[in-house]
């Protein structure tokens, strides 16, 4: 006697797997009703709505991008304006100093006047985060200093220290505008 569930010859006998597949497809057909199928007009309307949403979103993003660029530019202009406003007093002092009759001044007065203007300029710039890099006698730092030459060090402790600053360096809000150009001491072991 043969097992009727596994008999390959009898076409009326189906396996459990075939029954499971048939039941699953019947369930899928039952789940999809005629109302779930979109008409071509409804599909076209949905495509048109999605296209419209996409175009509006793209236009909104483009407007946002333009607004952001404009706001960045305006912020930069405001910052520049604040910096220049702080320099106006110094500019006024230089203008007054330049209009003085040279025959009435001695060289010490000229030097003193220039030093006062320089101090006022540094004070004004310091209010905007501007600093002068003070390098002499400090360890060489390649992030702040540019070595233009070396000089012999008198002892091993002086190795790597800045001997002379040829040109001052400047930092604004932690960013190096220009490194200080320096001579660095180097110990040769003698």
CB atoms near residue 160 (< 10 Å): 15
> Longest Cα pair distance anywhere in the chain, in angstroms?
136
| pLDDT, position 2 | 47
- Torsion sign over Cα 28, 33, 35, 40: positive
Q: State both tokens at 188.
A: 């040769």
164-173 pLDDT per residue, tens? 999 999 999 8
The dihedral over CA atoms of 64, 66, 69, 73, expressed in degrees to the nearest 10, equals -120
**54 pLDDT higher than 60:** yes
What's phi and psi for 168, nearest 5 deg?
-65, 150
Q: Which residues are paired to 172 by β-bridges?
A: 130, 175
Give this prediction's pTM.
Answer: 0.56
CB atoms near residue 14 (< 10 Å): 12
What mean pLDDT comes out for the span 58-74?
96
Average pLDDT over the chain, rounded to an integer: 84
| pLDDT, position 183 | 94
2-36 pLDDT per residue, tens? 444 455 555 555 555 555 555 555 555 555 555 56
């Amino acid at each position: 006697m043969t097992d009727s569930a596994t008999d390959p010859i009898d076409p009326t006998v189906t396996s459990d797997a075939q029954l499971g597949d048939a039941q699953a497809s019947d369930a899928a057909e039952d789940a999809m009703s005629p109302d779930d199928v979109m008409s071509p007009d409804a599909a076209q309307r949905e495509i048109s709505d999605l296209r419209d949403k996409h175009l509006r979103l793209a236009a909104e993003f483009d407007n946002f991008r333009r607004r952001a660029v404009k706001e960045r530019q305006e912020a930069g202009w405001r910052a520049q304006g604040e910096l220049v406003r702080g320099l106006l007093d110094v500019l006024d002092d230089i203008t007054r100093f330049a209009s003085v009759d040279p025959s009435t001044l001695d060289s010490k007065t000229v030097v003193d006047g220039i030093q006062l203007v320089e101090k006022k300029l540094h004070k004004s710039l310091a209010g905007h985060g501007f600093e002068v890099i003070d390098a002499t006698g400090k360890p060489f730092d390649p992030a702040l200093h540019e070595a233009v030459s070396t000089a012999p060090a008198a002892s091993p402790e002086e190795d790597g220290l800045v001997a002379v600053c040829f040109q001052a360096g400047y930092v604004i809000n932690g960013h190096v505008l220009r490194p200080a150009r320096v001579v660095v001491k180097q110990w040769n072991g003698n």
